[in-house]
Amino acid sequence: MKQKQQKTYGGLKNKHVFFVYDGGGLFLEFALQLGRDGHKVYYYSPFYDSELCFRRYSLGFGFEVIEKPLYFWTALMKYPKEEVTIMFPDVGNGDLAEFLKKQGYAVFAAGRGDVLENHRELLRKKMKEVGLPVIPYVEITGLENLKNYLKKNLPKVVKLDIFRNDRESFKVEDFNDVEQILITLELKFGPLADEFPFIVEDMMEGDEPGFDLIFNKTGYLTPYLWGFEVSKGPYCGMIGNLPKPLQFLADKLKTLLTQYDWRGFISTEAIINNGKPYLIDVCSRAPFPLGDGFTTLYSNFSEIIYKVARGLPVIPQARGKYMIVLPLLAEVNKDTPIWNNLKTPFIGMIEKNGSYYSIGLSGTAKKEKQIIGLPNYDNNLIITGVGNDPNILTKEILDIAQKCKINGKSFNYNEKDFMTAIEKTIKLFKSI
């Protein structure tokens, strides 16, 4: 008699209680997947401003597989510590994650490792300590000092230290081309502009791959995921071994991550120049938007979160050799908030001819059967394909994208650019 296969819940034998503390409100899909795996899931994204704000609270509202607590601590204290796993998928709550660990909770997070993302000057000092090559740079305090330096030293790349959300990094090849950017920064920082810290790097050319991994206290989970992201847009990743430059980078970073008792996502961007990996930045969190793909890539997603939070060994069960991601963007009007009606051919994940496809929901709520895109969120739908043939995945993802609607219309994306990005990425896989 054929033995009946035991049902599992995302790789776990039993149902569990998860708390997802989503500080930036980007990773709703992680909570939804844990819920789809059959677990009790509380999804909390801070909604306090000067007063309580319903529009911010409504993120994730109405989805049956998760619960939205008004008060994080009140909900958490209903359970014994050993019955709970707390997940911090984003950066910015490292102190809270460390506090909870010291109280005896199992926590999936980079913890105080968040400083490696938030403090660029500190990261570069740490890189030197562990023997990683560092792009030559200077630290400059004050906007006027920055202007004077750039007038005499070009080309350069300017990055904001610590307060990174105020402006994306920008290249300066001709000072006249960036005067408007500098004027905007002066208006933004006002009379405190001369207190602001900047990192100014030499400009370096080369391919820019990165890895997107999970670190489990003393080592990375394997197989590895690495690839190329096109300006926070399309992504193509390969699952397997890292190329030598990225393996060198991962080995050197391992010392740092172990020091921080890292138990969570780790992503990097690097420039490969003459075979050497020059680390650009560290993400002490899940990458966005491609991070949604983890729920499709790994069949035992729940088990990974549960065991990494406890420092227990776990082997990710990857569903294919390639992961391709296409985010569909909703236009944002910050002056006039718009609530968008979204239509998708399915929710969650489907299997087709041995490949797997999902539509991740970011910045959304639900009312009965209607998916609602919330104001001020860029990425509402994130399509992922996982399988062994990138050409098949690309074709199917585009077919899914055509069936997705926003307010009755097709999403605005460039099919040609997506195809070109994937083709270029596959060629680069072979060159590194």
**Amino acid 329: pLDDT:** 84
Give me the domain span that covers residue 68. 17-110
Does pLDDT of 333 surpass 60?
no
Q: How many CA atoms lie within 13 A of 228 on its CB side?
A: 22
Summarize the confidence of residues 234-242 as an average pLDDT. 95
Sequence-ordered list of residues with C-beta below 8 angstroms from that of 285, at least 6 positions apart, any chain: 88, 89, 90, 91, 110, 114, 117, 264, 265, 267, 291
Element holding 183 (H helix, E strand): helix 179-189
Residues 142 and 98 in one domain: no
Q: What is the CATH number of the domain that holds 72?
A: 3.40.50.720
Torsion angle, CA of 420/422/425/430, rounded to 10 degrees? -110
- Residue linked to tokens 């102190």: 95
The last residue of one of the domains, among 202, 226, 258, is 202
Summarize the confidence of residues 333-338 as an average pLDDT. 66
Given its phi and psi angles, is residue 114 left (phi above 0), alpha (psi -120 to 50 degrees) or beta? alpha
Summarize the confidence of residues 298-311 as an average pLDDT. 98
Let me know if residue 184 belongs to a domain: yes
For 36-47, how does the pLDDT look when each residue is reduced to its tens digit (9 = 90+)? 999 999 999 998
Residues 190, 196, 202, 208: is their CA dihedral positive or negative?
negative
Sequence-ordered list of residues with C-beta below 8 angstroms from that of 115, at least 6 positions apart, any chain: 94, 122, 284
What is the domain count for the chain?
2
The last residue of one of the domains, among 202, 232, 253, is 202
For 307-325, how does the pLDDT look when each residue is reduced to its tens digit (9 = 90+)? 999 999 999 999 999 999 9
Tokens of 35: 């819920």
Specify the DSSP class assigned to residue 330.
Answer: P
Residues 72 and 143 in one domain: no
234: preceding bond cis by omega (within 30 degrees): no
CB-CB contact of 320 with 388 (8 Å): yes
Q: How many CB atoms lie within 10 A of CB 118?
A: 17
Q: What is the CATH number of the domain that holds 173?
A: 3.30.1490.20
Selected residue with higher pLDDT from 420 and 314: 314
Mean pLDDT for all residues in the chain: 92
Sequence-ordered list of residues with C-beta below 8 angstroms from that of 420, at least 6 positions apart, any chain: none
Summarize the confidence of residues 31-60 as an average pLDDT. 91
Summarize the confidence of residues 284-312 as an average pLDDT. 97
Does pLDDT of 3 surpass 70?
no
**Amino acid 105: pLDDT:** 98
The last residue of one of the domains, among 202, 228, 260, is 202
In whole angstroms, how large is the CA radius of gyration of the chain? 22
Residues 35 and 105 in one domain: yes
Does pLDDT of 169 surpass 60?
yes
The string over 161-190, giving b where at least 16 C-beta atoms fall within 10 Å of a residue's C-beta and e elsewhere, is beebeebeeeebeeeeebeeebeebbeebe
Of 15-24, 250-259, 373-382, which range is least confident? 373-382
Q: Which of 172-181, 294-303, 413-422 has the highest mean pLDDT?
A: 294-303
- Residue linked to tokens 């820019």: 208
Residue spans of alpha helices (H) in 43-142: 54-57, 72-76, 94-102, 115-118, 120-129
Sequence-ordered list of residues with C-beta below 8 angstroms from that of 29, at least 6 positions apart, any chain: 292, 295, 360, 361, 362, 382
**DSSP string covering 6-56, please?**
PP-BTTBSS--EEEEE-TTS--HHHHHHHHHTT-EEEEE---BSSSB-HHH
**Amino acid 431: pLDDT:** 80
Percent of the chain with pLDDT over 90: 81
CA distance 13 to 19: 19
Q: Closest by alpha carbon to 263, among 233, 299, 219? A: 219
Q: Closest by alpha carbon to 304, among 345, 252, 265? A: 265
Summarize the confidence of residues 321-343 as an average pLDDT. 83
Does pLDDT of 1 surpass 50?
no
CA distance 30 to 361: 10
Residues 55 and 140 in one domain: no
Give the predicted TM-score (pTM) of the model: 0.94
Q: Is 385 helix (H, G, I), strand (E, B) or coil?
A: strand
| 73 pLDDT tier (thresholds 50, 70, 90) | very high
The string over 250-260, giving b where at least 16 C-beta atoms fall within 10 Å of a residue's C-beta and e elsewhere, is bebbbebbeeb
The residues pairing with 213 across neighbouring beta strands, listed in sequence order, are 266
Q: How many CB atoms lie within 10 A of CB 236?
A: 26
Summarize the confidence of residues 114-124 as an average pLDDT. 93
Summarize the confidence of residues 73-95 as an average pLDDT. 96
Residues 44 and 101 in one domain: yes
Residues 104 and 22 in one domain: yes
Strand 84-87 relative to strand 17-21, pairing: parallel
Summarize the confidence of residues 88-93 as an average pLDDT. 93
Let me know if residue 290 belongs to a domain: no
